[in-house]
Amino acid sequence: MANKLLGYLFEMVIYCLPITGLIFSFKRNGKHRKREFSTGFIIIAVSCFFQTFFLYRFYPYDSLFIIFTLFAVFLLVCKLPMLKSLLFTLLLLCYLEAAELLGIATIRELFNLVIGEEVQMRGAASPAMKAMYVAVGSYLCIFILSWHLGNKYYLRLSERKKILLRICAMTAILIGYYILFIYLLSNIQFRPDNEFTTYFQAFLYISFIINTIFLGYTIYSNIRLYQSAGENRTLRQQMDAVQTLTEELRLFKHNYLNILYSFGPHIAESDSPELIAHYEQTVQESRRIGSDNIISIQKIRNASVHNLLMSHMAMLKKESLPFFLGVSGDLGHTRMKDVDLCQVLGIFLDNAREAAAITEEPQVKLDILVGERLVEFYIYNSFSKSGQGGAPGKSGADRGCGLIYADDILGKYKNIIHNAYESNGQFVQQLIVEKQAAIF
C-alpha cells in the first residue's frame, strides 16, 4: 500500500510540477514577465531534483537520473535565454519519453532494452492511444514553446504562419515516429539474440537524435525570431515616440494656421496698409509649413517609391515649386515592378515639374489613393492646355521621349489604367495599378 501511494506521488510529481513550472513560465504579466519566467524555471529545476530523488531511490542505475540531474543543475546556473530554452526543450522531450515509456515498461526495463537484455513488455494502453497521447503531448509542448518564444505580439503575420506550418509539419513527423515506435514496442518480444533488437536499438537512438535535432532547430529559429522581434520592438518604440512628436507638431501647426488665417478677413478690412503687408508676409512665410508632405511620405512603405519622391521633393524645393503630396494609406508593392513604377512616376513628375514651372501660379500635386485592390496615382500640375495654350516640355529631338518611354513600360502590363486629362484647370496624369497580392 505504501509503495502504491509512493508510486502515485511519483506520478503526481512527474506530471504536476513541470506543468506548474510551465504555467509560471508562460504567464504574462507586463514588466514582471521576465521574473516569472525565471520562477517557472526554478520550479522546474526543483521538480527535477525531486524526481531525481525518487528515481534514484527506485531505479539507482537509471540513465535518466544523470539527464535529470544535469538539467536541474544547468537550469539553475545558466542565465542565457537561448541556453535555457534549449535545455527546457530537451527536458520536455525527456518528460515525454519517460512518461510514455513508464506506461509500457519500467525504467529498469527500458535500461535493459537499451543495453540489449531480454525485456518483457507490458503495455497498459493500446498502441493507437499511446501514439495519440504522446503526439498530442509533443504537439502541445512544441506549440506552446514556439508560440511563447515566437512572441506573436511582435511577429508579423507571415512569420507566425511560417511557425505554425513548421509546427504542423513537425507534428506530422512526430505522430508518424511515435506510432511506429509504440507499435514496435508493444508488439515485439525483444531478445538479445534477436537480430531485430539491434535494428530497433539503432532506430531508437536515431529517432531520438532526429527528434532532438528537429526540436532544437525549431527552437533555435524561434529564438532568432524572438531576438529580432525584440530589436523590432525597440525600433517600434522609437518610431512611436517620433510619430507622437510629429503628430503633436502637426496639431500645433494646424492650430497655428487656423488661427493665422482666421485673422485674414479682419485684417483685410482694416485701414492699415502696414498691417495688411505684414500679414501677407507672415502668410507667405507660413505657406512653407503648410504642407504635410513629410507625414504623407511616411505612409509609403515601398522604399523605391519613397526614395523617388524624396528626390523629386528635393528638386521641387530647389526650384521653389510648391508640391503637395497626399497619401491615403500605406503604400506597399504593386503588380508593377518597382523599377518600372518608379521610372513611370519619375517621367510623369518630371513632366509635371517642367510644365508647372512655366505657369503663373506653379504647383505640382501627387495624390496616392491606396484601396483594397488598387493603387491610384494622380499627378497634377498647374499647366492647362485649354487655359494657357500650347504644349509644355522640351523642344527638338528629345521632345516627348519620356512619355513614349513611359507608354512602352506601361504596355508591358495588363490591366493598368493610364489616363491624361484636364480637370479644374489642371493637367492630370492618372495611373491605376493593382496591388501586389499578399504571400500569406
Partner 1 sequence: MLKIVICDDIKTHNRFVEAAVQAALDEYELPGEIALVTDSAAEALQFSQTPGELRLYFLDINMESATEGLELADKIRQRDADAYIVYITAHAEYSIAGYRTKTFDFLLKPLNAEMIRETVRRVFQDMALVSKRGRVFQFKAGSVMHHIPLSDILYMKKEKNVLHVYTENGRISGYGSLKRTAGEFSKSFALCNKSCLASLGKIKELDTGNRAVLLENGLTLSVSRHFKTALAEAMEAYRGE
Judged by the rule CB under 8 A, the positions of this chain that interact with partner 1 are: 251, 254-255, 257-258, 260-262, 264-266, 268, 283, 290-292, 295-296, 324, 326-328, 365, 367, 369, 371, 374, 376, 378, 414-421, 424-425, 430, 432
Return the number of the residue (350 or 376) whose C-beta is nearest partner 1: 376
DSSP secondary structure string for all residues of 96-124: HHHHHHHTTS-HHHHHHHHHT--B----S
In the bound complex, what is the minimum distance in angstroms from residue 430's beta carbon to partner 1?
6
Return the number of the residue (126 or 282) whose C-beta is nearest partner 1: 282
In the bound complex, what is the minimum distance in angstroms from residue 354's beta carbon to partner 1?
20
* Beta-carbon count within 10 A of 21 CB: 23
Return the number of the residue (261 or 440) whose C-beta is nearest partner 1: 261
In the bound complex, what is the minimum distance in angstroms from residue 424's beta carbon to partner 1?
6
Return the number of the residue (43 or 327) whose C-beta is nearest partner 1: 327
Segments of 257-383 assigned E as strands: 323-327, 364-370, 374-381
Task: Tell me if 312 sits within 8 A of 346, measured CB to CB.
Answer: yes
In whole angstroms, give the CA distance from residue 240 to residue 358. Answer: 41
Return the number of the residue (242 or 268) whose C-beta is nearest partner 1: 268
In the bound complex, what is the minimum distance in angstroms from residue 420's beta carbon to partner 1?
7
Return the number of the residue (38 or 286) whose C-beta is nearest partner 1: 286
- CA torsion 131→132→134→135, rounded to 10°? 100
In whole angstroms, give the CA distance from residue 346 to residue 101. Answer: 69
Return the number of the residue (31 or 288) whose C-beta is nearest partner 1: 288
Sheet holding 417-423, edge to edge: 323-327, 364-370, 374-381, 426-434, 417-423
C-alpha cell, 403: 512619355
Return the number of the residue (158 or 255) whose C-beta is nearest partner 1: 255
Spatial CA neighbour of 383 closest among 355, 364, 409: 355
Return the number of the residue (43 or 300) whose C-beta is nearest partner 1: 300
- Which residue in the block uniquely carries the three cell numbers 520562477? 39
In the bound complex, what is the minimum distance in angstroms from residue 379's beta carbon to partner 1?
13
In the bound complex, what is the minimum distance in angstroms from residue 401's beta carbon to partner 1?
18
In the bound complex, what is the minimum distance in angstroms from residue 248's beta carbon to partner 1?
13
Strands 323-327 and 426-434: unpaired
In the bound complex, what is the minimum distance in angstroms from residue 378's beta carbon to partner 1?
8
DSSP secondary structure string for all residues of 260-285: HHHHHHHHHTSS-HHHHHHHHHHHHH
Return the number of the residue (11 or 422) whose C-beta is nearest partner 1: 422
Spatial CA neighbour of 424 closest among 390, 377, 364, 383: 383
* Beta-carbon count within 10 A of 257 CB: 15
Spatial CA neighbour of 21 closest among 50, 63, 54, 59: 50
- Which residue in the block uniquely carries the three cell numbers 496591388? 435
In the bound complex, what is the minimum distance in angstroms from residue 203's beta carbon to partner 1?
58
- Which residue in the block uniquely carries the three cell numbers 515498461? 105
Return the number of the residue (151 or 328) whose C-beta is nearest partner 1: 328
In the bound complex, what is the minimum distance in angstroms from residue 127's beta carbon to partner 1?
57
In whole angstroms, give the CA distance from residue 118 to residue 124. Answer: 19
In the bound complex, what is the minimum distance in angstroms from residue 342's beta carbon to partner 1?
20
- Residue type for position 87: L
In whole angstroms, give the CA distance from residue 335 to residue 434. Answer: 6
